[in-house]
A and B are shown apart, each in its own frame.
Chain A
Amino acid sequence: MPLVYAGVCPHAPGITGRQDQADPAVRDSLYVAFDTMRQRLEASNPDALVVVAAEHFANFFMNNMPSYAMGMADFYEGPIEDPGWLGIDRVRVPGNRDLSEQLIKSVMETHDVAFAEEWRFDHGISVPLHFLTPTYDLPVIPVNINCQGPPLTPLGRAWNFGEAIRRAADARPERIALIGTGGISHWPATPDSGKINVEWDLEFMDRWCRNDRDQLLSYSDEETYLDAGQGGFEIRAHIAIAAAAAGSKGTLHYYEPIPIFSVGCGLADFAL
């Protein structure tokens, strides 16, 4: 069954954790955008949701850092952070071990990937799920691209990985939805936290919506760091989704820079 949904959204912990400190009108506009994305996701009638995220030293550390990892369990737990700090209750999220294993085996045909039979979601997955699958009844398959601990995987490899996910999903009878989370420009959890490069974000999302592979892969990490902060390294998730939807055009449904959430919030999906 061909992929039924492919989209991207932000995952910054402030989106839920600092909701009381935001301008209510701006915050609510983001929440409405998330809810609209939930409706589009649900309308695709998925059997499982693959979430490509960039986690933040919750499961993976520099003692043994996989550039790419996929979950292979029947359940996961999250958030790993203090629920009070993140503003999201800790829950058990259903997975699908068999489906994971089939997808992993298929991805491995063309792209090396680590697998994990345990995974405690951090905000990179828990924040999007809070809005997109609020009842936690859709099986989730977590995927991580290391965007935190350099050396980081080249952007071209993230593209190849997205293509491998697409091939794996297409070969399955299940209806598989795919989201990427992270970015866009931000300097999270540093003294520059709250800084957002609106121009850079809109240019990146324009390339993403046009699904222009060459332009998406043309960023160097040095440029990205200067223009979009270390949080900008998370565009690897966006690039994987674009590759999975190669040939399709996307729509940016919402964009708003929200400094107190420390991130430019862009929600977009492809017309598959």
Chain B
Amino acid sequence: MSLYYVQKFLYELNRDPRVQSEYEADRDGAVAGYELSEIERDALTEPDIGLLYHLGVNGQILMHFAALHKIEWADYLQLMRDGLVQHGPVREGVYAVTGYEGTDAHSASLGQVTPNTNAKDA
């Protein structure tokens, strides 16, 4: 497993429009130069946000990858939750889940209203 190189690729993709163009034109080619397992390559090219989160990719890197794929915020959060259900807890890195009940429920407990949120986020 090479979480470092998964994140390295995403770091370079996030910050460099040229890498983004390359990835758009040829996803396999774009990741070819990185030391990745087959699972990691597939997760990056498919892309599989939930699997990448399970593998330990930092959310500060992953959220931009999701945005690049035009994934809305609430959907991004849900994909990570689905990934944990499907693949199990985060394998590496700093993350552990806390059983958070979601933005809407949390807002309500604080006496706030959060309009227009995606139902999936509840």
Q: How far is the CB of A4 from chain B (nearest CB, A)?
A: 32
Question: Which chain B residues numbered 65 to 122 have a C-beta less than 8 Å away from chain A?
Answer: 67-68, 73, 77, 80-81, 84, 94-95, 97-98, 100, 102-103, 106-107, 110, 112-117
- CB of A117 closer than 8 Å to a CB of B: no
| The stretch of A153-161, A190-198, A206-214 that contacts the partner chain | A190-198
Q: Is the CB of B67 within 8 A of A21?
A: no
Partner of B15 from A21, A80, A191, A258 at Cβ < 8 Å: A80
Q: How far is the CB of B101 from chain A (nearest CB, A)?
A: 8
- CB of A18 closer than 8 Å to a CB of B: yes
Kindly supply a per-residue 1/0 record for chain B positions 1-24, scoring 1 wherever the CB is within 8 Å of any chain A CB and 0 otherwise: 000100110010011000000000
Kindly supply a per-residue 1/0 record for chain A positions 1-43, scoring 1 wherever the CB is within 8 Å of any chain B CB and 0 otherwise: 0000000000000100010111100100000000000000000
- A190 to B, closest residue via Cβ: B59
| The stretch of A56-64, A131-139, A163-171, A245-253 that contacts the partner chain | A56-64
Q: Is the CB of A21 within 8 A of B60?
A: no
Partner of B117 from A188, A190, A258, A260 at Cβ < 8 Å: A260
Contact A230-B95, Cβ < 8 Å, known A57-B61, A63-B8, A189-B63: yes
Q: Is the CB of B116 within 8 A of A257?
A: no
Partner of A150 from B4, B94, B98, B110 at Cβ < 8 Å: B94
Partner of B11 from A57, A192, A195 at Cβ < 8 Å: A57
- B110 to A, closest residue via Cβ: A257
Q: How far is the CA of A257 from the CA of B11 in the complex (A)?
A: 30
Contacts of B115 in A (CB 8 A): 21, 23
Partner of A120 from B15, B58, B100, B107 at Cβ < 8 Å: B15
Q: How many residues of A contact B (CB 8 A)?
A: 38
- A58 to B, closest residue via Cβ: B15
Q: Is the CB of A192 within 8 A of B98?
A: yes
- A188 to B, closest residue via Cβ: B59
- CB of B27 closer than 8 Å to a CB of A: no
Q: Is the CB of B94 within 8 A of A225?
A: yes
Q: Is the CB of B112 within 8 A of A190?
A: no
Q: How far is the CA of A225 from the CA of B97 in the complex (A)?
A: 11
- CB of A106 closer than 8 Å to a CB of B: no
Q: Is the CB of B58 within 8 A of A148?
A: yes
Contacts of B8 in A (CB 8 A): 61-63
Q: Is the CB of A57 within 8 A of B114?
A: no
Contacts of B117 in A (CB 8 A): 21, 260
Chain B, interface size category, equals 35 or more
Q: Is the CB of B67 within 8 A of A259?
A: no
Q: Is the CB of B58 within 8 A of A57?
A: yes
Question: Which chain A residues numbered 61 to 93 have a C-beta less than 8 Å away from chain B?
Answer: 61-63, 80-82, 85
Contacts of A187 in B (CB 8 A): 98, 100
- CB of B41 closer than 8 Å to a CB of A: no
Q: Is the CB of A81 within 8 A of B110?
A: no
Q: Is the CB of B94 within 8 A of A193?
A: no
Q: Is the CB of A191 within 8 A of B81?
A: yes
- CB of B55 closer than 8 Å to a CB of A: no
Q: How far is the CB of B27 from chain A (nearest CB, A)?
A: 19
Contacts of A258 in B (CB 8 A): 112
Q: How far is the CA of A259 from the CA of B121 in the complex (A)?
A: 12
Known: A187-B100, A195-B106, A259-B106. 6 other contacts (CB 8 A): A57-B7, A61-B8, A120-B15, A190-B59, A191-B100, A194-B106
| 24 interchain pairs, CB-CB under 8 A | A21-B117, A23-B114, A56-B60, A56-B61, A57-B58, A61-B7, A61-B11, A62-B8, A80-B15, A81-B67, A82-B68, A85-B67, A189-B59, A190-B59, A190-B95, A191-B80, A191-B84, A192-B98, A193-B77, A194-B107, A195-B98, A195-B106, A258-B112, A259-B107
